[in-house]
Chains A and B, each alone.
Chain A
Amino acid sequence: MVAVQAPLISQMRRGMLQYCVLALLVEEERYGFDLVKALGEVEGMVTSEGTIYPLLSRLRRDGLVETSWQESPSGPPRRYYSLTAAGRAALEAFAEEWSRFRDAVDHFIEGRRA
């Protein structure tokens, strides 16, 4: 079996990961640890939990998410992330593109297998 190029997968994961984070925030706001755990439940999405935080920071600087500090029932205050209108629009645009792209890729890969 030929190994898939690790850098390529890493870049794909990095490109997709930000939209996964945005998708997790569509229904509800979440705090960082919660987001990391949710992403970690899906195998292959997160290799290092700590790398999520720089991503969240960049999304905030890009205006795709916004944050607020809220008291925690246990422990220190938590920083909650929620989707902005720009973040929602970016996610919808990506979802449309991603659907076409995934179908196209599947078309070739599934077709080869068939």
Chain B
Amino acid sequence: VSYDPEPEIKRYLERLSRAAHDLPRGRRRELLSEIELHIRMALAQTPCANQEELEALLEKVGAPAEIAAAATDQAVAPIQRPPGAIAFLRGHRPRRLIMTLVALALVVFAIGAAVWTQSYQPLAFARADILPANSFNTEGETGYAAWIGYHKGIGGGPDRPFFGVTIQNTGPFTVQLVRPPAKYAPTMPVMWGWSSRLLMARYTRLKTNPNPLLARQGHRSLWKRGPLQPFQPISLAPGQIVMIAYQGVWHDCQIKPHVGTTTPPRSFPIRFSYLWKTTTAHIPFPGGLTIDPPNHHSNTDCHQTPQTGNSQSNASGSTGFGQGPNQTVVRDSVKQVASVEIPKVGPVALWHGNTEQGGWCLGLRLSNSDWLGTGESPLDGGGAVPGCFPTGVIDRGTHHLEWLENDIDARRIGGTQWRIRSGVITVPGAVKVTDLATDQSTNVIDGGLFILAIQAPNPSAPPYQSPHLHLVAYDKAGNVIASDCLYHSCSGS
């Protein structure tokens, strides 16, 4: 049987490879190739008949450690590695050095990224040379869009003040706007006297002004905003603009800021999240705000506005209404009194309660227990209830028909928009209520309550828009016993 030297040669080369592991890969491969070739040439010249002869041949080639040492220039005088981190790195193979440096770079990068992310705040007020529609008396200095206005529409009747800002993402990354903690609204001094809730107009944009005369005068763009809807978290892409507003009713006539007063707040709280952090940025107003107080605006004179109203805490109370500053709910009186069926939405229940001060409370509740007008439901289109009001204030006590509006937007579930009018008739004997503008009727419940659902494909246009409303209450004999009309052609009726 002939002797097979291959296993022993293989083991020798493996030992050499291990001994030369500090060499760069290319040099190690070249050395192994040269030595293997040398061994094969030697074997070709003098074949080995047994293990002893092969061992003698390999001994002549040299010990792997000795050859490796010669390749690393350590054959005679081993290198004395100097102490220290750099020396340690130098003493190791370059690949490890590179990996160490890369790891260090990654750690430094990660720390830098974390610090940068913690300080990242791309939100700022967007410029608005032209104020949003329906806001007209206040703007932040230098044209920045912080505004207080008076909004017609939702709520009907008396106009409702709102205070808002236009926010733009000026950074290179998308951030998520989230609802600020409820505590911020009450602590904003400009909101003193308000019961408010947070709204937003997400489809805010600048449009080219179609009026050539105004365009020539420098107003080349018009500030267009979408409808104010209950706030919902949204992603704000780079450059995107959104309006955020607190809307409510003025319930404290003791607060009368003077015209032209620079009034707090000096910043507006915006809560946003980016990557792992969620923080509240207080965006400073440039120079503060100069506001025109509401009692200087005819539609929001304190004598005409409700004394109490809905607040952010309304839906969190056990009664569903909470309580206004001047009204306290009588808990035992709270009950569901009626409901209407809305296609695709289901039943919308009318809840009613009395207050200790002789007022009344109304609330509208979906079948999943969400209250309309609170922003709880994605179907919530905003509105005036839930809330508690003194009797005779909503309609100034002249019409005996006190009503409020809420909207339902069911388009996202394949439905349409609805306007829900609910209210109290303060004279006895009413059995039926009709909206003459839309010719929709409903029966009166419990002697004085009603809920009227009107399908409104476009709630902001006639005949659904509040100024076109003409509500009439009839008694059993068909006589009109209460009426409220906002339509100009029936004023005085």
Contact = CB atoms under 8 A, between A and B. Distances in A.
B230 to A, nearest CB: 75
B37 A32 contact: yes
B36 to A, nearest CB: 10
Contacts of A70: none
A49 B60 contact: yes
Contacts of A53: 31, 34-35, 38, 67, 71
Contacts of A48: 60-63, 66-67, 70
Interface of A, secondary structure class, is helix
A68 interface: no
Contacts of B60: 48-49
Contacts of A47: 62
A95 B246 CA distance: 97
B75 A51 contact: yes
A32 to B, nearest CB: 6
A47 B41 CA distance: 19
Contacts of B34: 32, 53, 56-57, 79
A50 B41 contact: no
A76 interface: yes
B71 A57 contact: yes
Contacts of B76: 7, 10-11, 14
A75 interface: yes
A54 B41 contact: no
B22 to A, nearest CB: 13
B381 to A, nearest CB: 80
B38 A50 contact: yes
A51 B27 contact: no
Contacts of A89: none
A17 B70 CA distance: 12
A54 B20 CA distance: 11
B37 A55 contact: no
A57 B29 CA distance: 12
A36 to B, nearest CB: 7
Interface centre among A10, A51, A76 (most CB of B within 10 A): A51
Interface string B52-78: 000000001111001100110101110
Interface string A1-42: 000000100110010000000000000000011001000000
A99 interface: no
Interface string A63-99: 0000000000011101100000000000000000000
A50 B61 contact: yes
Contacts of B66: 48, 50-51
23 contacts: A7-B77, A10-B75, A11-B76, A11-B77, A14-B75, A32-B34, A32-B38, A50-B16, A50-B61, A50-B62, A50-B66, A51-B62, A51-B75, A53-B34, A53-B67, A54-B67, A54-B70, A55-B70, A57-B31, A57-B71, A58-B73, A75-B41, A79-B34
Interface of B: 16, 27, 30-31, 34-35, 37-38, 40-42, 44, 60-63, 66-67, 70-71, 73, 75-77
Nearest 9 CB-CB pairings of A with B: A48-B62, A54-B71, A50-B62, A50-B67, A51-B70, A53-B34, A33-B41, A54-B70, A50-B61
